[in-house]
Amino acid sequence: MTKAKKKMKGSTRVLENRGEGLFQTILTIVFLLMGLTFLYPYWHVLVTSFTSPDYASAAGFKLWPQSWSWDAYIRMFNASYLWKGYANTIKVVLLGWSCSLVGVVLSSYPLSKKDLPFRGLFTGMIITTMFISGGMIPTYLLVNNTLGMRNSYFAIILPACVSSSHVIIARNYFMTLPTELEEAATIDGASSLQVLVRVILPLSMPILATISLWVIVSNWNAYFNCLLYITDPNKYVLQVVLRRIILTDSKEMTSVAEAVANQTDTDIVTLRAASIMLATIPIICVYPFLQKYFVKGVLIGSLKG
Amino acid sequence: MKKWLAMLTALVMLMSVAGALAEVDLSAYVSDPAEKITIAWLAGHDTEPIAEGDTVVKWLEEKFNVTLDMWFLERENYDELLTTRIMGGEIPDVFMLQNATQFSKFVKQGVVMELPLEVVKQCMPEGYAWLIEYDPGCFDNVSYNGKNYGLPRVNGDGYFNYAPFWRADWLKKFGYDNGKVPMTLEECEEVFYHFANDDPDGDGIKNTYALSNTGMNPIFGAFGALPDRWVDDGEGNLVYGAVYPGMKDALALLAKWYKDGLIDPEFITGENQGGYWALSVPFENGQIGFSSSGAYYHLAPDFDGPKNEETGEGGNFQYGRTMRTFASTVGYENMIIGFNPTGPDGKQGGESWGLTTDEAVVFSYKLKDQPAKVARILEMINTIGSDFDTWLKIWNWDLESDQYDYDELLGYVAKEGHERVDEGSHTNMFNTLQNPFFAMKVKPAQYEWAKSLPQFRTGGYSNTMLPITTASMPNYWTSMDTLRQTTYVAIITGEMPVDSFDSFVESWYQMGGKVITEEANEWYHSK
């Protein structure tokens, strides 16, 4: 490469950089604005939850509460079921999370081995369930009548414990790991289980984190299964409790008795906003810890197969 | 062989006909109070389950010598949850259904037993008497093909129709003073133009409208119908409001108003904007001066009940829900309750709930062979619904009802030294029949206030005019309803010419409206 050429290249790079700099600035502004438009609805809900009820339903762009009030949160925290709901949900999440991880890993790891007998058949059977489901009533009969899980958290956790899509994604991830690693460990005398636990799993953090996030979020949001199988109010999970607090407060909705009976001053709008905050903040706090694995896990798991 | 079969079939048919014709054996419907029975109870609904060991439940169990197995189903997913539980083999002995669709579904599927009216009359004589007194047609809502299948739930609020309300301070600027309000459609129109054009809020900016979404109901009503419910066409036939001939004139007027800037263009998304359903956000914000967003009790003033002096809370009566918000935004003195305006043919009316709801209380098919149990349940429902003292105790009250004094204005006020024990609500779980006469007794001020206002008795269009789901409705109704809504909005906003109403009517009838209207009238004429 001659000097002249080098020089030319250098100058175009300067030009490029200038143009790029401007482009970068515009991009930054555009994405910042876009980010703000995503953030604003959430901010609006947060502000509404702190606004006094009389102003809560007023129209317009809200950056700050017109008049501060803790009413909604006080009402929420005073509902005795709330704390129990949190505790129960955490139980469901932890239990569901561990069951799911064990189930997913134990079913996907063998499927990733090319020498597994009937591998295609098993994979096919698992994939089939993604398209054909038993429907609500057969599921209910199985869980409630056959397994007798009424009022047990396993009724919420087990039906969706090992999701077929998670199995497929995890299987695809395991298939990308070099078999030499396992061979080396085997030569050193490790059993299959030891290979899985000592070699494969430490390398699988991205996929485990991804699946964890999905499982945690879905167990955190458990609602309908709780309505269906849990009849003991002491065992209600958070989402059901929050829903109930809101409903109790909007009692005057329908009939005369309700209209006259209700004396509460806290507006349903602020309550709803506060409940959204209480339901989402804990789960949002989990995200930053898992996010760095998240994108990687989804991509690797889904692309190769 | 074939002959045999034919004869056998004929015999079976004959027997079933004979069975159907047989008189109900009323003597079986008697219960022995000494025998303790268990009742799976869902003859009401509530927002939260009743706690275990609840004192009111215990009291009822002792009083009626029963064991109550209290059911609870979330209201939002009621139908799904109930269906699933029944399929799973469990069924409450007595349960509530939320609407006509659920009622016809469960009756058709045979989940619900027939409950002959003679049985009702025998086992709950007082309850039957006041039900008929309040609404002679109330059992229509729980009958199917001429047979009775349950108990109706009446609605005390249905006695009053919706009335629109105005900004009094705006009206005053245009000549309506001292409680006077526009009475006819023409008078309303004149004021509406002032509201939109002559700066009623005095801020020098043209930022006001006359009305939004719910304010249109009284306008439709002045032309003889509401678009989303059935009306009698005056000749004894039911016709659906959306295709009622008068609606074309109403739409023409509304389209003109929209063009002239009288209607808040945000009317399409509704007035409550995601908040409590009976609120009007544009009214609160001073954008409109006319609305009809709630029932009478939402608009009740602040009756001066005894309140906690520190917090200002706890009076027996506070503002109705809507009025409370308006009082703190536009100001109580700036509100006035108006009349549903009379139209060119003298018609008037707003929304109304009707005297009887479309909810039904029904009995499990498993009780078909247990008349004594049916009798006991009916007696319970009768006593709670017809004996004032019993009713008072379960009505969100405490069991020591003798610790209260009766006040003409305030209803029941606790005696000095007695503090009400909050047991949570039992109102809805046990107040099966919703006796409106009792509710009026407990909160006299609100009822007396509403009765004193003729605004609430101009008559209205009730959505229980046709309380049943006709056979063809499930097949067509959703798409017909979408067509109605989009056409109405399009005509009002000028997207479609007013004359397209005629082609809308035609396609509405073609899409299934013809069959459904015939079915509706068949039911209506058989009443």
Partners of B351 in beta bridges = B461
**pLDDT for res B19:** 47
Mean pLDDT along residues B265-275: 82
- Checking phi first, is residue B414 left (phi over 0); if not, alpha (psi -120 to 50) or beta? beta
A257: distance to nearest CA of chain B, Å? 7
Return d(Cα A95, Cα A140) in angstroms, integer: 21
pLDDT-wise least confident of A35-39, A49-53, A197-201, A292-296: A292-296
> Is 3.20.20.140 the CATH classification of the domain at A74-303?
no
* Closest chain B residue by Cα to residue A141: B88
pLDDT digits (tens, 9 = 90+) for A55-91: 665 556 677 777 778 878 887 787 777 888 899 999 9
Q: Which of A132-136, B105-109, B235-239 has the lowest mean pLDDT?
A: A132-136
Read off the pLDDT band of B10 (50, 70, 90).
Answer: low
Distance from the Cα of B80 to chain A's closest Cα (Å) equals 9
Q: Which CATH code is given to the segment(s) B165-348+470-525?
A: 3.40.190.10
Given this model, what pLDDT does residue A58 score? Answer: 59
- B425 contacts chain A (CB < 8 A): yes
CA-to-CA dists, residue B273 to A201, B228, B268, B269, angstroms:
50, 20, 10, 7
Please tell me the predicted confidence (pLDDT) of residue B409: 67
Taking residues B380-387, report their average pLDDT. 94
Q: What is the DSSP string of B15-65?
A: HHHHHHHSPP-GGG----TTS-EEEEEESS--SSPPPTT-HHHHHHHHHHT
DSSP letter at B341 equals: P
Q: Contact at 8 Å (CB) between B327 and B333?
A: no
Q: How many CB atoms lie within 10 A of CB B80?
A: 16
Torsion sign (Cα): B214, B217, B220, B225 = positive
Instruction: Provide the sign of the torsion angle of the four alpha carbons A118, A121, A127, A129, taken in this order.
Output: negative
Burial B192-201 (b: 16+ CB within 10 A, else e): bbbbbeebbb
Name the average pLDDT for chain B.
Answer: 86
For domain B24-158+355-452, the CATH class is alpha beta
- Three-state SS at A289: helix
With beta carbons under 8 A apart, name residues in chain B contacting A265.
Answer: 313, 324
Mean pLDDT of B188-194: 96
**Which of residues B198 and B394 earns the better pLDDT score?**
B198
Q: Where are the domains of chain A?
A: 3-49, 74-303
Looking at residue B5, its pLDDT comes to 59
> Which pLDDT score is estimated for B427?
67
Question: Is residue A190 exposed (0-12), middle (13-18) or buried (19+ Cβ within 10 Å)?
Answer: middle
Q: Quickly state the pLDDT bin for A2 (edges 50, 70, 90).
A: very low
Q: d(Cα B198, Cα A122) in Å, to the nearest integer?
A: 76
pLDDT digit string (tens) for A165-185?
Answer: 999 999 999 998 888 888 899
What percent of chain A shows pLDDT beyond 90? 32
Question: Chain A residue closest to B157 (CA)?
Answer: A256
Q: Say what the ipTM of the complex is.
A: 0.71
Mean pLDDT of B4-20: 55
With CB atoms and an 8 Å threshold, state whether B325 touches A258.
no
User: Domain ranges in chain B?
Assistant: 24-158+355-452, 165-348+470-525
* Structure confidence at residue B322 (pLDDT): 79
Using the beta-carbon criterion (under 8 Å), do B428 and A59 form an inter-chain contact?
no
For the segment B511-524, the average pLDDT, to the nearest whole number, is: 92
Query: Cβ B439–A260 below 8 Å, yes or no?
Result: yes
Position B492 confidence tier, pLDDT thresholds 50, 70, 90:
very high
Asked if pLDDT for residue B234 goes beyond 90, the answer is no
- Name every chain A residue with its beta carbon within 8 A of the beta carbon of B284: 57-58
Summarize the confidence of residues B113-127 as an average pLDDT.
95
What is the pLDDT at residue B48? 74
Range picked from B101-105, B177-181, B492-496 for highest mean pLDDT? B492-496
- The contacts of residue B78 (CB under 8 Å, 6+ apart) are B45, B98, B102
Of A54, A140, A247, the CB nearest to B88: A140
Rounded alpha-carbon distances, angstroms, from residue B348 to A271, A275, B188, B278, B309: 38, 42, 13, 21, 44
pLDDT, greater one: A301 or B336: B336
Q: Are B240 and B213 in contact (CB under 8 A)?
A: no
The pLDDT of residue B127 is: 95
Q: What is the pLDDT of residues B140-190, one digit of tens each?
A: 889 888 899 999 999 888 889 999 999 999 999 999 988 899 999 999 999
